[in-house]
Amino acid sequence: MTTAQAEEDPDVARFVEEAEASLFDLSAEAQRADWVYATYITPDTEALSAKAYSRVIRATVELAKRSVPLSRVGLSEERRRKLLLLRLSLPLAAPSDPVEGEELTQIVTSLQGMYARGRYAPAGTSAALDLQELSKILGTSREPRELLDVWSGWHRVARPMRPGFTRYVELANKGSRELGFPDTGAMWRSKYDLPPEEFGREVERLWSQVAPLYRSLHAYVRRRLGAAHGESLVPPGGPIPAHLLGNMWAQSWEQILPLLAPPGDGPGFDLTKILLERKTQPLELVRVAERFFVSLGLAPLPESFWERSLFVRPRDREVVCHASAWDLDFVDDLRIKMCIDVSAEDFQTIHHELGHNYYQRAYNRQPFFFRDSAHDGFHEAVGDTIALSVTPEYLRRIGLLADVPDPSNDIAPLLARALEKIAFLPFGLMVDRWRWRVFSGEISPESYNRSWWEMRREYQGVAPSGERGEEEFDPGAKYHVAANVPYMRYFLAGILQFQFHRALARTAGETGPVHRASIYGSHEAGDRLEGMLAMGASRPWPDALEAMTGERRMDASALLEYFAPLQRWLDEQNRGHPIGWTTQE
């Protein structure tokens, strides 16, 4: 027994054990209430979900406050880490005043409901469409006026959110300060085993590694869109209008690939077309994804997963269709919730979501406070890592392709992936950078929308068409802002997934280009993956990263290696054309 263990106060040990047991029960109850609300949206389920979530927040905040004086010398490393994770376990700390705490949880639930119920009837139609249907128009139409109408129509959904969001910021900050943090943004940044200021510098370092590749991609896309829509709409050297990029938030651009790919070049196959021609049903897409994990030596999902998940949009009720993976009892009640569309995009999304489920199951033997990922970016990165193995060779091995396209055709699929992955990174960074500044008071309610577009121009080189005044609340048109979900995890996952993929591909014995590698069928890679997953949050994330990759620092070199052939091609295409954009209107 170590000195620290010998000197440990038994009252502290008892507090930690009782806190874990209490929060385990309350969290499972809240998960079930939230599942019912997300899959059956009514005023009643909204109220029940808010009530259950409120109980978790109140109990967690109370326990977190009680834990502060207990974090002293003499604790074992395990209990010290549990107390730290307790303080950081919620993205929302309610004020101790019960009236204000209840108000805060009701606001968050209400904002999420506004988002889920959002509809817009495009010009010339009478039917109000949901986000999925509007997104299909945005991804397929090539008519700028129609695109702008659909884009503007969805963003109107967020207008009523501004008063609630403003009050939410005020109350959330009050709760965070009671826990000893300057504001909620500082609390979020403290979750990464680094001081908040150092973490802010770390994400900017990672962005600086990939920004040159993003600017090259942006320049190429801007020039091709200028050729398609006219330079009066897409001027050389300027930002790209957000509604022309095929995605409601311009966070991924793969839907406009037909406007961008070189003539005569292409991936050689259309996975969506293949799936539709085979009359593939939504549930079969999930079965295929499960078989990927089984091929790594991991166990099949429990039967309850198939009985209790939501796979398709119900016809009789409102649901939150945003894809998500759930662990309702923090043991083995694993589920996914999504409205599956038989498409290449959802084929990859399902592989991603099951990555979450397998992570959840791998750490289910850890103490409750450690039943989470090393940091939240790890959870997202694991799912994305699996999706990177959805290669032509993998599709051939599972019978969806007859032949693998020749490597000479790799530029088009790399471009398509860059339009998804690289295009996302600045958006993934700025969403929380904007919220950090909102929480700190640097951005006031009077400038919410203006500052949102200033930062989108700075990081993404993207701008709206026309004026977006302060009567709008465009940040709320993004689910994660409306639902109080921190977003930095997605930026970090955008870097880590390539670091994970390269390491696992090498473990699987892949010796070719990393962008062609798949770990499908490799038990060696599966063992390495599961070993890291089973650690949960029991150790600081550099330990988990080292277990997976042998490295202790997040690094974008694997991403740059993955896209190196595309970078060379973009350099050739951009020669003689402007790169970058003005940061001022």
Q: What is the pLDDT of residues 56-97, one digit of tens each?
A: 988 998 898 888 788 766 788 899 899 989 988 888 888 989
Residues recognised as catalytic: 322-323, 352-353, 356, 380, 480, 490
Residue 388 falls inside a structural domain: no
Residue 344 falls inside a structural domain: no
Residue 230 falls inside a structural domain: no
User: Where is 49: in which H helix or E strand?
Assistant: helix 43-67
> 37, 483 in Cβ contact below 8 A?
no
> 519, 525 in Cβ contact below 8 A?
yes
Rg (CA), the chain: 24
Would you state the structure tokens that stand for residue 230, as one six-digit string? 């006219």
Residue 17 falls inside a structural domain: yes
Q: Where are the beta strands (DSSP E) in 210-274?
A: 240-241
Residue 234 falls inside a structural domain: no
Measured between alpha carbons, how far is 445 from 476 in angstroms, rounded to an integer?
13
Residue 44 falls inside a structural domain: yes
154 CB contacts (<8 Å, ≥6 apart)? 118, 120, 131, 134, 248, 477
Residue 271 falls inside a structural domain: no
Residue 483 falls inside a structural domain: no
For the chain, how many structural domains are there in total? 1
pLDDT at 584: 67
Measured between alpha carbons, how far is 120 from 109 in angstroms, rounded to an integer?
21
Write out residues in the chain with pLDDT < 70, as ranges.
1-8, 72-73, 263-267, 584-585
Residue ranges making up the domain that contains 67: 3-112+164-192
